[in-house]
Amino acid sequence: MVLIAMDLAFQFLLFVIWGSAAIRISRSKKRPSIRPWSHLVLQSVGLLLTAGKIVTLSILGSRDWLFVKDTLAVHFLLLGVPAAAVTIYTIPWLRKLASATSTDAAPHTDHFPAAALPVQAAGVGASLDFVLTLLFPMKSLNVGIFTLVAIIYAAWAGTLWRLRKQKPAKRSRAVRITVGMLLVLVSVTSWFVLSSQVSKLSDRMSMMAGEEDYGGGPSMAGHDMSHGHVGMASTSSSASGASFVSVEDLKGPRNGEPDRRLTLTAEKKTVTLNSGATIEAWTYNGQLPGPELRVTQGELVEVTLINKDIEEGVTIHWHGQDVPNGEDGVSGVTQDAVMPGQTYTYRFIAKQSGSYWYHSHQQSSEQVKNGLFGTLIVLPKEGLATGTEDITVMDPTYKTVGDSEVNLLNPIDHRTVKPGTPVRLRLFNTGNWPKKFSIAGVKFKVAAIDGTDLNEPAELTNVRLDLAAGGRYDITFTMPNTPVYVSTDPSSGLLLSADGKGSVPEVKNASVFDPLTYGSPKETPFGAASKFDRSFTMVFDNKLGFYDGGFERLFTINGDVFPNTPMFMVREGDLVKTTFVNRSLVPHPMHLHGHHMLVLSRNGKPSTGSPWWVDTLNVDPGESYEVAFKADNPGLWMDHCHNLEHAAIGMTLHMSYEGVTSPFEIGHATQNRPE
């Protein structure tokens, strides 16, 4: 985080300092005869900042080459070259001038334009580099080279102008300035209008519209047939013999008596919170959060979704359960949003035990915030240790009327647990940002992450648990005689005690839990040394730009937002590696639907603890991660940031299996808004 912030700060300061140095030297008509020292100071600061930028880039680059790969050439041309010229030519020239005792000893004034040029180039270069960083995080190379040529021409023309003996007439100067400003104004305005128009989502589009990225693996015969032309070929086959299957045919068991039959009704409801406050919520079954669904591993679960009165339509996505694609509940990808009065039935076998959750994947940033989510607990076939107190701890925040956020755990919730009882706390983060959980008053183990048990977890005490948005940690311990406190902030939490009373033990966190080194290794079906069929890269940047016509601070994947993000193409059976690199200023919890990813390394350091499987991985600013997964669940899957606000402005992409088609569409003319 510090590195990324420093890098951006250097970029900004370089723009300010070189900009001022350039303006200052350009104003000194013929020669900086007055106070050459002030020029020297400004330029030295510029050079120091350039050095600082080089240092931060080298640190990031040694962490992962992807941090700098695409921008290095631009920085070199726009910052490096002018800085070198200033060092070699301008600074010595100014020093000679400063130390000259008489006019005669001073360097000849005819040389002034040559000395000023590098500084002017540095000013223009730093400004351009700054603008490129903000607007074109990843495509800056081409634009950079183009603009560099423009700078050279401009500087050259400027020098020629300055070398002319006669001073330009006042009026012509005013005219030139006006024309120049008009030109700038017109080009900036047209850029804004154009990019705003271009960014508008079309009325109807297939989620499969992205540009294919084969990740270095073989491309697929007839893949362009799979381009979501409506009603296309759920059973046809291409010339090469590859057959197509529609997401509608990738369902859970259609027949057979379900082991669990559940109904979830989406409806608006006024809900009273623990704190006594009431809020207008969007609920499943009138509850906030929705009812906890408890099933047993291996059971066939049938859930009927009824939409009573959510006008925008709803769905249910089973976050972390790797269900068949047709049951994944993403509007516009695997189904149409379920509109008021309509119903939809999901059927799947709960294959993985552990802590999962469900939420609407229609207009999800709004709907999850308003309450359309709940927990899904899949108990292992063999059950939990006898007598286990199995407790769900959620830390959701809700939008209330007036936009202030209300915490469900507020105020402190008391619960009676007999000393000696085995306790399992299921921590959920259903919000958009990482949550810091503290467990005070007991030694505990992190038994599972995102539903998967860890191997030989060690006991922890005074360790803070930073939970990814969308992620889950299961904590286990034996209830002591004294109270135990779980919280995300001092004023709200859950207090477990023998008598349901007692005082809150002191929260002291000496360190932060790190899954990379926690527990002990165990054999996995694949690992860092495996041969991968495909490797994908996702580099995240900040960018100012447009999404669907609105100007936003965007978070880009490989320089762009949906629908201009790539479409990852895989073939069933592929072993796939993905690298995440976060060059933006905020964390991004990356969630892949339908698969669990094995973390291989972070910042180049291999995972040495228990196998660490995730469905949602928090990638902090300045961090890089390598993960791997097996392509064993055919379909069309979302891969997106689970900060749902980020997803809503395009931080999403899709992964498609060879030959999978979808008849569903998104866009303003459809009811589907997956984000």
Binding site for ligand C2O (CB under 6 A): 317, 319, 359, 361, 470, 591, 593, 638, 640, 642
CA angle 507, 510, 515 (to 5 degrees): 105
Decide: is 543 part of the binding site for Cu ion (CB under 5 A).
no
Nearest CB to ligand C2O, comparing residues 148 and 247: 247
Minimum CB separation from ligand C2O for residue 470, in Å?
5
Start-to-end Cα distance in the chain: 27
- Joined together, the tokens standing for residue 307 give 């939409």
Cα 499 to Cα 21, 482, 484, 486, 503: the distances in Å are 71, 10, 12, 17, 11
- Joined together, the tokens standing for residue 646 give 């980020």
Minimum CB separation from ligand C2O for residue 124, in Å?
44
Nearest CB to ligand C2O, comparing residues 591 and 646: 591
Nearest CB to ligand C2O, comparing residues 431 and 457: 431
Nearest Cα residue to 437 out of 402, 410, 472? 472
Nearest CB to Cu ion, comparing residues 575 and 651: 651
Contacts of 605 (CB under 8 A, 6+ apart): 516
Contacts of 118 (CB under 8 A, 6+ apart): 82, 85, 86, 89, 90
What amino acid occupies position 169?
A
CB 316, CB 264: distance < 8 Å: yes
Q: Which does 643 bind (CB under 5 to 8 A by kind): Cu ion, ligand C2O, none?
A: Cu ion
Q: How far apart are CA 293 and CA 299, in angstroms?
A: 13
Q: Which residue has the tokens 């000013």?
A: 123
CB-count burial class (<10 Å; 0-12, 13-18, 19+) for 401: exposed
The residue length of the chain stands at 675
Contacts of 491 (CB under 8 A, 6+ apart): 410, 411, 412
Nearest CB to ligand C2O, comparing residues 289 and 493: 289
CB-count burial class (<10 Å; 0-12, 13-18, 19+) for 564: middle
Nearest CB to Cu ion, comparing residues 346 and 555: 555
Minimum CB separation from ligand C2O for residue 674, in Å?
8
Decide: is 583 part of the binding site for Cu ion (CB under 5 A).
no
Decide: is 347 part of the binding site for Cu ion (CB under 5 A).
no
Q: x/- site string to Cu ion, residues 544 to 573, per CB under 5 A?
A: -----------x------------------
Residue 383's φ and ψ, nearest 5 degrees, are 80, 175
Q: How many CA atoms lie within 13 A of 553 on its CB side?
A: 5
Q: How many CA atoms lie within 13 A of 64 on its CB side?
A: 21
Minimum CB separation from ligand C2O for residue 52, in Å?
39
Q: Which does 319 bind (CB under 5 to 8 A by kind): ligand C2O, Cu ion, none?
A: ligand C2O
Minimum CB separation from ligand C2O for residue 533, in Å?
24
Nearest CB to Cu ion, comparing residues 112 and 555: 555
Decide: is 641 part of the binding site for Cu ion (CB under 5 A).
yes
Q: How far apart are CA 40 and CA 674, in angstroms?
A: 56
Q: Which does 593 bind (CB under 5 to 8 A by kind): ligand C2O, Cu ion, none?
A: ligand C2O
Of 39, 472, 577, 588, the one binding Cu ion by CB under 5 A: 588
Decide: is 643 part of the binding site for Cu ion (CB under 5 A).
yes
Q: Which does 223 bind (CB under 5 to 8 A by kind): Cu ion, ligand C2O, none?
A: none
Q: Which does 360 bind (CB under 5 to 8 A by kind): Cu ion, ligand C2O, none?
A: none
Minimum CB separation from Cu ion for residue 646, in Å?
3
What amino acid occupies position 614?
V
Nearest CB to Cu ion, comparing residues 398 and 555: 555
Q: Which does 596 bind (CB under 5 to 8 A by kind): ligand C2O, Cu ion, none?
A: none
Nearest CB to Cu ion, comparing residues 147 and 643: 643
Nearest CB to ligand C2O, comparing residues 3 and 590: 590
Q: How far apart are CA 470 and CA 504, in angstroms?
A: 28
- Joined together, the tokens standing for residue 481 give 């005689």
* Residue 227 CB coordination number (10 Å): 13
Nearest CB to ligand C2O, comparing residues 319 and 435: 319
Applying CB under 5 A, the span of 133-141, 186-194, 447-455, 637-645 interacting with Cu ion comes to 637-645
Nearest CB to ligand C2O, comparing residues 571 and 593: 593
**HEC states along 125-167?**
HHHHHHHHHHHCCCCHHHHHHHHHHHHHHHHHHHHHHHHCCCC
Q: Which does 424 bind (CB under 5 to 8 A by kind): Cu ion, ligand C2O, none?
A: none
Decide: is 640 part of the binding site for Cu ion (CB under 5 A).
no
Q: Which does 571 bind (CB under 5 to 8 A by kind): Cu ion, ligand C2O, none?
A: none
Q: Which does 46 bind (CB under 5 to 8 A by kind): Cu ion, ligand C2O, none?
A: none
Q: Which does 641 bind (CB under 5 to 8 A by kind): Cu ion, ligand C2O, none?
A: Cu ion
The H or E element containing residue 420 is none
Q: Which residue is nearest to ligand C2O (CB)?
A: 319
What amino acid occupies position 348?
F
Of 630, 646, 654, 673, the one binding Cu ion by CB under 5 A: 646
Using CB under 5 A, list all residues that contact Cu ion.
Answer: 555, 588, 641, 643, 646, 651
